[in-house]
Amino acid sequence: MRLDPAERGQPFPGEPPMPEKPSSLGWRARWRRWRNGLLASPRFQRWAADFPLTRRIARRRAAESFGLLTGFVYSQILLACVRLDLFAALADGPRSLGILAARCGLAPEAMERLLRAAISIRLVERAGEGLYALGAQGATLQGNPSLAAMIEHHALFYEDLVDPVALLKGEKRDTALKRFWAYAKAEDPAAVAPERAAAYSTLMAKTQGFIARDVLDAYDFARHRAVLDIGGGEGAFLSAVGAAHPSLSLNLFDLPAVAARAAERFAAAGLAARAETYGGDFFADALPHGADLATFVRVLHDHDDDAVSKLLRAAHTALGPGGRLLIAEPLAGTPGAESAGDGYFGLYLAAMGSGRARTFDELSMLLRSNGFSSIRLHATRQPLLVRVITARA
Protein backbone atom coordinates (compact mmCIF):
# COMPACT_ATOMS: atom_id res chain seq x y z
CA MET A 1 0.00 0.00 0.00
CA ARG A 2 1.30 3.50 -0.88
CA LEU A 3 1.18 6.05 1.88
CA ASP A 4 1.23 9.75 1.09
CA PRO A 5 4.10 11.79 2.61
CA ALA A 6 1.97 13.15 5.44
CA GLU A 7 0.98 9.62 6.50
CA ARG A 8 4.63 8.54 6.40
CA GLY A 9 5.42 11.50 8.64
CA GLN A 10 7.47 13.10 5.85
CA PRO A 11 6.91 16.54 4.42
CA PHE A 12 5.40 17.09 1.00
CA PRO A 13 7.90 18.18 -1.67
CA GLY A 14 8.91 21.79 -1.05
CA GLU A 15 7.55 21.84 2.52
CA PRO A 16 9.86 22.50 5.48
CA PRO A 17 10.78 19.25 7.28
CA MET A 18 8.47 18.23 10.11
CA PRO A 19 10.09 18.72 13.55
CA GLU A 20 11.63 15.53 14.94
CA LYS A 21 10.00 15.67 18.33
CA PRO A 22 6.68 17.20 19.35
CA SER A 23 8.59 19.20 22.00
CA SER A 24 10.29 21.19 19.23
CA LEU A 25 6.87 22.46 18.06
CA GLY A 26 5.53 25.83 19.26
CA TRP A 27 2.91 25.74 22.03
CA ARG A 28 0.12 26.51 19.58
CA ALA A 29 1.03 23.57 17.33
CA ARG A 30 1.39 21.25 20.37
CA TRP A 31 -2.01 22.34 21.67
CA ARG A 32 -3.61 21.84 18.23
CA ARG A 33 -2.08 18.33 17.95
CA TRP A 34 -3.39 17.44 21.42
CA ARG A 35 -6.89 18.89 20.74
CA ASN A 36 -7.25 17.22 17.36
CA GLY A 37 -6.13 13.88 18.75
CA LEU A 38 -8.72 14.18 21.50
CA LEU A 39 -11.58 15.26 19.19
CA ALA A 40 -10.85 12.40 16.80
CA SER A 41 -10.96 9.78 19.54
CA PRO A 42 -14.26 7.80 19.63
CA ARG A 43 -13.67 7.12 23.35
CA PHE A 44 -13.39 10.84 24.08
CA GLN A 45 -16.46 11.58 21.92
CA ARG A 46 -18.51 9.04 23.92
CA TRP A 47 -17.22 10.39 27.22
CA ALA A 48 -17.90 14.03 26.27
CA ALA A 49 -21.44 13.18 25.15
CA ASP A 50 -22.15 11.44 28.50
CA PHE A 51 -20.40 13.78 30.95
CA PRO A 52 -22.93 16.38 32.21
CA LEU A 53 -20.55 19.37 31.92
CA THR A 54 -19.51 18.66 28.32
CA ARG A 55 -22.76 17.13 27.04
CA ARG A 56 -24.15 20.39 25.58
CA ILE A 57 -20.87 21.24 23.84
CA ALA A 58 -20.58 17.71 22.45
CA ARG A 59 -24.13 17.87 21.09
CA ARG A 60 -23.56 21.31 19.59
CA ARG A 61 -20.38 20.07 17.89
CA ALA A 62 -22.16 17.00 16.58
CA ALA A 63 -24.95 19.21 15.17
CA GLU A 64 -22.31 21.46 13.53
CA SER A 65 -20.60 18.45 11.98
CA PHE A 66 -23.94 17.12 10.76
CA GLY A 67 -24.67 20.56 9.24
CA LEU A 68 -21.38 20.39 7.31
CA LEU A 69 -22.23 16.96 6.00
CA THR A 70 -25.77 17.81 4.97
CA GLY A 71 -25.82 21.56 4.23
CA PHE A 72 -26.58 21.04 0.55
CA VAL A 73 -29.93 19.48 1.45
CA TYR A 74 -31.07 22.61 3.31
CA SER A 75 -30.19 24.81 0.33
CA GLN A 76 -32.34 22.58 -1.87
CA ILE A 77 -35.25 22.68 0.61
CA LEU A 78 -34.98 26.46 0.34
CA LEU A 79 -34.91 26.27 -3.46
CA ALA A 80 -38.07 24.13 -3.45
CA CYS A 81 -39.82 26.72 -1.23
CA VAL A 82 -38.75 29.57 -3.53
CA ARG A 83 -39.74 27.74 -6.72
CA LEU A 84 -43.16 26.88 -5.29
CA ASP A 85 -43.56 30.45 -3.98
CA LEU A 86 -44.36 29.05 -0.54
CA PHE A 87 -43.34 32.20 1.36
CA ALA A 88 -45.72 34.34 -0.69
CA ALA A 89 -48.47 31.80 0.06
CA LEU A 90 -47.87 32.38 3.78
CA ALA A 91 -47.34 36.14 3.55
CA ASP A 92 -50.90 37.06 4.62
CA GLY A 93 -51.02 34.70 7.58
CA PRO A 94 -51.20 31.02 8.53
CA ARG A 95 -52.61 28.52 6.02
CA SER A 96 -53.75 24.90 6.20
CA LEU A 97 -51.99 21.97 4.57
CA GLY A 98 -54.80 21.59 2.03
CA ILE A 99 -54.68 25.21 0.91
CA LEU A 100 -50.90 25.17 0.64
CA ALA A 101 -50.89 21.87 -1.27
CA ALA A 102 -53.39 23.25 -3.79
CA ARG A 103 -51.51 26.53 -4.16
CA CYS A 104 -48.10 24.84 -4.60
CA GLY A 105 -49.42 22.06 -6.84
CA LEU A 106 -48.16 19.24 -4.59
CA ALA A 107 -49.92 16.15 -3.26
CA PRO A 108 -50.80 16.65 0.45
CA GLU A 109 -48.16 14.07 1.54
CA ALA A 110 -45.45 15.82 -0.48
CA MET A 111 -46.56 19.20 0.84
CA GLU A 112 -46.36 17.94 4.40
CA ARG A 113 -42.88 16.52 3.77
CA LEU A 114 -41.70 19.88 2.44
CA LEU A 115 -43.36 21.80 5.31
CA ARG A 116 -41.71 19.55 7.91
CA ALA A 117 -38.35 20.02 6.21
CA ALA A 118 -38.90 23.80 6.05
CA ILE A 119 -39.87 23.85 9.76
CA SER A 120 -36.60 22.09 10.61
CA ILE A 121 -34.64 25.06 9.27
CA ARG A 122 -37.01 27.77 10.56
CA LEU A 123 -38.34 28.76 7.16
CA VAL A 124 -41.83 27.81 8.34
CA GLU A 125 -43.38 27.21 11.76
CA ARG A 126 -46.53 25.60 13.10
CA ALA A 127 -49.27 28.07 14.02
CA GLY A 128 -51.76 25.94 15.92
CA GLU A 129 -53.71 22.86 14.91
CA GLY A 130 -53.15 22.08 11.21
CA LEU A 131 -51.90 25.57 10.37
CA TYR A 132 -48.52 26.72 9.06
CA ALA A 133 -46.97 30.21 9.18
CA LEU A 134 -43.77 31.90 8.05
CA GLY A 135 -40.84 31.07 10.32
CA ALA A 136 -38.14 33.55 11.32
CA GLN A 137 -35.96 32.71 8.29
CA GLY A 138 -38.90 32.54 5.91
CA ALA A 139 -40.05 35.99 7.06
CA THR A 140 -36.62 37.42 6.16
CA LEU A 141 -36.80 35.92 2.69
CA GLN A 142 -40.44 36.82 2.00
CA GLY A 143 -40.80 40.03 0.07
CA ASN A 144 -37.11 40.14 -0.82
CA PRO A 145 -36.91 39.49 -4.55
CA SER A 146 -33.12 39.86 -4.53
CA LEU A 147 -32.70 36.82 -2.29
CA ALA A 148 -35.14 34.79 -4.36
CA ALA A 149 -33.17 35.70 -7.51
CA MET A 150 -29.90 34.65 -5.85
CA ILE A 151 -31.38 31.36 -4.68
CA GLU A 152 -32.76 30.58 -8.16
CA HIS A 153 -29.44 31.29 -9.87
CA HIS A 154 -27.66 29.01 -7.39
CA ALA A 155 -29.08 26.11 -9.37
CA LEU A 156 -26.28 26.84 -11.87
CA PHE A 157 -23.58 26.95 -9.19
CA TYR A 158 -24.95 23.71 -7.74
CA GLU A 159 -24.44 22.05 -11.12
CA ASP A 160 -20.77 23.13 -11.10
CA LEU A 161 -20.21 21.90 -7.55
CA VAL A 162 -21.22 18.32 -8.30
CA ASP A 163 -17.52 17.42 -8.57
CA PRO A 164 -15.70 20.02 -6.45
CA VAL A 165 -12.29 18.40 -6.93
CA ALA A 166 -12.59 18.54 -10.73
CA LEU A 167 -13.62 22.18 -10.33
CA LEU A 168 -10.56 22.98 -8.18
CA LYS A 169 -8.25 21.15 -10.58
CA GLY A 170 -9.63 23.23 -13.45
CA GLU A 171 -10.79 20.08 -15.24
CA LYS A 172 -14.31 21.42 -15.68
CA ARG A 173 -13.84 23.78 -18.61
CA ASP A 174 -17.45 24.48 -19.53
CA THR A 175 -19.14 25.48 -16.28
CA ALA A 176 -22.70 26.73 -15.93
CA LEU A 177 -21.48 29.91 -14.23
CA LYS A 178 -19.03 30.65 -17.05
CA ARG A 179 -21.93 30.44 -19.47
CA PHE A 180 -24.10 32.65 -17.26
CA TRP A 181 -21.45 35.38 -16.76
CA ALA A 182 -20.97 35.80 -20.49
CA TYR A 183 -17.97 38.15 -20.13
CA ALA A 184 -15.96 35.70 -18.03
CA LYS A 185 -13.13 34.47 -20.24
CA ALA A 186 -14.88 35.84 -23.36
CA GLU A 187 -12.54 36.30 -26.34
CA ASP A 188 -14.21 39.61 -27.13
CA PRO A 189 -16.23 40.80 -24.11
CA ALA A 190 -17.55 43.82 -26.03
CA ALA A 191 -19.35 41.43 -28.37
CA VAL A 192 -21.45 39.84 -25.57
CA ALA A 193 -24.96 39.62 -27.03
CA PRO A 194 -27.77 41.67 -25.43
CA GLU A 195 -29.78 38.61 -24.35
CA ARG A 196 -26.77 37.06 -22.57
CA ALA A 197 -25.96 40.37 -20.88
CA ALA A 198 -29.60 40.71 -19.84
CA ALA A 199 -29.62 37.55 -17.68
CA TYR A 200 -26.71 38.49 -15.42
CA SER A 201 -27.41 42.24 -15.48
CA THR A 202 -30.96 41.67 -14.19
CA LEU A 203 -29.62 39.52 -11.35
CA MET A 204 -27.01 42.16 -10.47
CA ALA A 205 -29.59 44.93 -10.48
CA LYS A 206 -31.95 42.90 -8.27
CA THR A 207 -29.21 42.29 -5.68
CA GLN A 208 -27.94 45.89 -5.74
CA GLY A 209 -30.45 47.19 -3.15
CA PHE A 210 -28.52 46.29 0.00
CA ILE A 211 -25.17 47.02 -1.56
CA ALA A 212 -25.96 50.60 -2.63
CA ARG A 213 -27.53 51.41 0.74
CA ASP A 214 -24.51 50.16 2.67
CA VAL A 215 -22.00 51.89 0.38
CA LEU A 216 -23.89 55.20 0.56
CA ASP A 217 -23.90 54.99 4.35
CA ALA A 218 -20.22 54.07 4.52
CA TYR A 219 -18.85 56.85 2.32
CA ASP A 220 -19.84 60.49 1.81
CA PHE A 221 -20.46 60.99 -1.92
CA ALA A 222 -21.45 64.63 -1.26
CA ARG A 223 -17.79 65.70 -1.41
CA HIS A 224 -17.67 64.81 -5.12
CA ARG A 225 -18.76 66.51 -8.31
CA ALA A 226 -18.84 63.61 -10.81
CA VAL A 227 -18.71 59.84 -10.38
CA LEU A 228 -17.67 57.21 -12.93
CA ASP A 229 -19.01 53.72 -12.13
CA ILE A 230 -16.76 51.26 -13.99
CA GLY A 231 -18.46 47.95 -14.77
CA GLY A 232 -21.57 49.69 -13.46
CA GLY A 233 -24.02 47.10 -14.80
CA GLU A 234 -27.42 48.39 -15.77
CA GLY A 235 -27.11 51.43 -13.51
CA ALA A 236 -28.90 50.28 -10.34
CA PHE A 237 -26.02 51.46 -8.12
CA LEU A 238 -25.65 54.85 -9.85
CA SER A 239 -29.42 55.39 -9.77
CA ALA A 240 -29.35 54.98 -5.98
CA VAL A 241 -26.33 57.30 -5.71
CA GLY A 242 -28.06 59.84 -7.99
CA ALA A 243 -31.26 59.75 -5.93
CA ALA A 244 -29.28 60.38 -2.73
CA HIS A 245 -27.08 63.15 -4.23
CA PRO A 246 -29.09 65.28 -6.68
CA SER A 247 -26.18 67.48 -7.80
CA LEU A 248 -23.74 64.66 -8.64
CA SER A 249 -23.07 63.99 -12.31
CA LEU A 250 -23.32 60.28 -13.12
CA ASN A 251 -21.18 58.35 -15.63
CA LEU A 252 -21.29 54.64 -16.28
CA PHE A 253 -18.92 52.42 -18.26
CA ASP A 254 -19.82 48.83 -19.14
CA LEU A 255 -20.01 46.48 -22.11
CA PRO A 256 -22.10 48.00 -24.94
CA ALA A 257 -25.06 45.65 -24.38
CA VAL A 258 -25.10 46.44 -20.64
CA ALA A 259 -24.51 50.19 -21.01
CA ALA A 260 -27.55 50.32 -23.32
CA ARG A 261 -29.67 48.80 -20.52
CA ALA A 262 -28.27 51.41 -18.09
CA ALA A 263 -29.25 54.25 -20.46
CA GLU A 264 -32.83 52.93 -20.46
CA ARG A 265 -32.88 52.73 -16.66
CA PHE A 266 -31.55 56.30 -16.28
CA ALA A 267 -34.17 57.58 -18.71
CA ALA A 268 -36.95 55.75 -16.84
CA ALA A 269 -35.70 57.16 -13.50
CA GLY A 270 -35.63 60.73 -14.86
CA LEU A 271 -31.84 60.85 -14.55
CA ALA A 272 -31.00 61.10 -18.26
CA ALA A 273 -30.07 64.81 -18.04
CA ARG A 274 -27.18 64.16 -15.65
CA ALA A 275 -26.27 60.58 -16.55
CA GLU A 276 -23.90 59.56 -19.34
CA THR A 277 -23.33 55.94 -20.40
CA TYR A 278 -20.26 54.60 -22.20
CA GLY A 279 -20.17 51.20 -23.90
CA GLY A 280 -16.84 49.43 -24.38
CA ASP A 281 -14.35 46.89 -23.12
CA PHE A 282 -12.58 48.22 -20.03
CA PHE A 283 -9.49 46.15 -20.87
CA ALA A 284 -9.18 47.53 -24.39
CA ASP A 285 -10.87 50.95 -24.46
CA ALA A 286 -9.92 54.14 -22.62
CA LEU A 287 -12.20 55.14 -19.74
CA PRO A 288 -13.80 58.59 -19.90
CA HIS A 289 -11.94 61.37 -18.04
CA GLY A 290 -13.42 64.12 -15.89
CA ALA A 291 -14.86 62.34 -12.82
CA ASP A 292 -13.34 63.03 -9.40
CA LEU A 293 -14.62 59.69 -8.03
CA ALA A 294 -14.38 56.31 -9.78
CA THR A 295 -16.10 53.22 -8.39
CA PHE A 296 -15.67 49.49 -8.88
CA VAL A 297 -18.70 47.81 -7.32
CA ARG A 298 -18.46 44.00 -7.27
CA VAL A 299 -16.09 44.14 -10.24
CA LEU A 300 -12.49 43.49 -9.17
CA HIS A 301 -13.17 40.10 -7.54
CA ASP A 302 -14.24 38.79 -10.97
CA HIS A 303 -10.71 39.14 -12.34
CA ASP A 304 -7.21 37.74 -11.86
CA ASP A 305 -4.44 39.96 -10.48
CA ASP A 306 -2.97 41.05 -13.84
CA ALA A 307 -6.40 42.10 -15.07
CA VAL A 308 -7.10 43.95 -11.80
CA SER A 309 -3.81 45.85 -12.15
CA LYS A 310 -4.85 46.85 -15.67
CA LEU A 311 -8.21 48.10 -14.39
CA LEU A 312 -6.63 50.04 -11.53
CA ARG A 313 -4.16 51.71 -13.91
CA ALA A 314 -6.99 52.63 -16.28
CA ALA A 315 -8.98 54.12 -13.38
CA HIS A 316 -5.88 56.01 -12.20
CA THR A 317 -5.40 57.54 -15.66
CA ALA A 318 -9.09 58.45 -15.94
CA LEU A 319 -9.13 60.11 -12.50
CA GLY A 320 -5.88 62.03 -12.68
CA PRO A 321 -3.89 63.09 -9.58
CA GLY A 322 -5.97 63.60 -6.44
CA GLY A 323 -9.03 61.71 -7.75
CA ARG A 324 -10.65 59.21 -5.42
CA LEU A 325 -11.26 55.51 -6.11
CA LEU A 326 -13.89 53.50 -4.23
CA ILE A 327 -13.97 49.71 -4.29
CA ALA A 328 -17.05 47.94 -2.92
CA GLU A 329 -17.15 44.15 -2.75
CA PRO A 330 -17.04 41.30 -0.24
CA LEU A 331 -13.51 40.67 1.03
CA ALA A 332 -11.75 37.48 2.04
CA GLY A 333 -10.57 37.26 5.64
CA THR A 334 -13.49 39.34 6.96
CA PRO A 335 -13.80 38.46 10.65
CA GLY A 336 -17.07 36.64 11.23
CA ALA A 337 -17.78 36.39 7.47
CA GLU A 338 -15.03 34.01 6.36
CA SER A 339 -17.65 31.60 5.09
CA ALA A 340 -18.77 34.26 2.57
CA GLY A 341 -15.47 35.70 1.29
CA ASP A 342 -13.31 32.59 1.52
CA GLY A 343 -15.89 29.82 1.32
CA TYR A 344 -18.74 30.92 -0.96
CA PHE A 345 -16.88 33.36 -3.22
CA GLY A 346 -13.76 31.19 -3.22
CA LEU A 347 -15.63 28.41 -4.99
CA TYR A 348 -18.05 30.65 -6.88
CA LEU A 349 -15.22 32.45 -8.67
CA ALA A 350 -13.45 29.16 -9.33
CA ALA A 351 -16.62 28.07 -11.16
CA MET A 352 -16.71 31.37 -13.02
CA GLY A 353 -13.17 30.66 -14.19
CA SER A 354 -11.44 33.84 -13.04
CA GLY A 355 -10.93 36.11 -10.07
CA ARG A 356 -10.95 35.61 -6.33
CA ALA A 357 -12.13 37.36 -3.21
CA ARG A 358 -9.12 39.30 -1.87
CA THR A 359 -8.20 40.42 1.61
CA PHE A 360 -7.87 44.12 2.42
CA ASP A 361 -4.08 43.69 2.46
CA GLU A 362 -4.05 42.03 -0.96
CA LEU A 363 -6.16 44.79 -2.49
CA SER A 364 -4.04 47.43 -0.75
CA MET A 365 -0.91 45.95 -2.32
CA LEU A 366 -2.50 46.00 -5.78
CA LEU A 367 -3.66 49.58 -5.24
CA ARG A 368 -0.24 50.74 -4.06
CA SER A 369 1.61 49.06 -6.91
CA ASN A 370 -0.71 50.80 -9.37
CA GLY A 371 -0.15 54.31 -8.07
CA PHE A 372 -2.81 54.72 -5.36
CA SER A 373 -2.19 56.00 -1.81
CA SER A 374 -4.21 56.93 1.32
CA ILE A 375 -5.88 53.50 1.27
CA ARG A 376 -8.72 53.17 3.81
CA LEU A 377 -11.18 50.50 4.80
CA HIS A 378 -14.60 51.95 5.74
CA ALA A 379 -17.02 50.19 8.07
CA THR A 380 -20.18 48.82 6.43
CA ARG A 381 -23.40 47.59 8.02
CA GLN A 382 -23.19 44.09 6.52
CA PRO A 383 -19.49 43.22 5.96
CA LEU A 384 -20.67 39.78 4.82
CA LEU A 385 -22.15 41.35 1.67
CA VAL A 386 -19.90 44.30 0.96
CA ARG A 387 -16.89 46.16 2.32
CA VAL A 388 -15.68 49.55 1.15
CA ILE A 389 -12.13 50.65 0.40
CA THR A 390 -11.12 54.11 -0.81
CA ALA A 391 -7.78 55.28 -2.19
CA ARG A 392 -6.30 58.43 -3.74
CA ALA A 393 -4.89 58.53 -7.27
Ligand X SMILES: C[S@@+](CC[C@H](N)C(=O)[O-])C[C@H]1O[C@@H](n2cnc3c(N)ncnc32)[C@H](O)[C@@H]1O
Any residues with CB less than 8 A from the CB of 374 and at least 6 apart, and which? 390, 391, 392
Kindly state whether residue 297 participates in binding ligand X, applying the rule CB under 6 A: yes
Half-sphere exposure of 310 (CA within 13 A, CB side): 12
**Which window, 76-84, 131-139, 278-286, 371-379, contacts ligand X (CB under 6 A)?**
278-286
**Which window, 149-157, 214-222, 232-240, 244-252, contacts ligand X (CB under 6 A)?**
232-240
SS3 152: helix
DSSP state of 274: G
Kindly state whether residue 281 participates in binding ligand X, applying the rule CB under 6 A: yes
Count of positions on this chain that bind ligand X (CB under 6 A) = 20
**Which CB atom, from 236 or from 366, has the smaller least distance to ligand X?**
236
Cβ 266 to ligand X, closest distance in Å? 14
Phi, psi of 324 (to 5 degrees): -110, 140
Residue 260 CA to residue 264 CA, distance in Å, equals 7
**Which CB atom, from 103 or from 310, has the smaller least distance to ligand X?**
310
Kindly state whether residue 203 participates in binding ligand X, applying the rule CB under 6 A: no
Beta carbons within 10 angstroms of residue 235's beta carbon: 30
**Which CB atom, from 282 or from 372, has the smaller least distance to ligand X?**
282
* Chosen residue from 255, 312, 327, 350 binding ligand X by CB under 6 A: 255
Kindly state whether residue 302 participates in binding ligand X, applying the rule CB under 6 A: yes
Task: Return the amino acid letter for 337.
Answer: A
Helices (H), the chain: 27-40, 42-50, 55-83, 86-89, 97-104, 108-120, 136-141, 145-160, 164-168, 176-180, 194-206, 208-218, 236-244, 256-268, 305-319, 338, 345-352, 360-369
Cβ 208 to ligand X, closest distance in Å? 5
* Chosen residue from 95, 160, 219, 232 binding ligand X by CB under 6 A: 232
DSSP string, 182-229: TTTT-SSGGG--HHHHHHHHHHHHHTHHHHHHHHHHHS-GGG-SEEEE
* Chosen residue from 224, 298, 358, 387 binding ligand X by CB under 6 A: 298
* Chosen residue from 254, 265, 325, 358 binding ligand X by CB under 6 A: 254
Residue 305 CA to residue 366 CA, distance in Å, equals 8
**Which window, 1-9, 264-272, 292-300, 315-323, contacts ligand X (CB under 6 A)?**
292-300
Kindly state whether residue 283 participates in binding ligand X, applying the rule CB under 6 A: yes
Kindly state whether residue 237 participates in binding ligand X, applying the rule CB under 6 A: yes
Using an 8 Å Cβ cutoff, are 145 and 124 in contact? no
**Which CB atom, from 254 or from 342, has the smaller least distance to ligand X?**
254
Kindly state whether residue 258 participates in binding ligand X, applying the rule CB under 6 A: yes
Kindly state whether residue 282 participates in binding ligand X, applying the rule CB under 6 A: yes
Sites of contact with ligand X (CB under 6 A): 183, 189, 201, 204, 208, 231-233, 236-237, 254-255, 258, 281-283, 297-299, 302
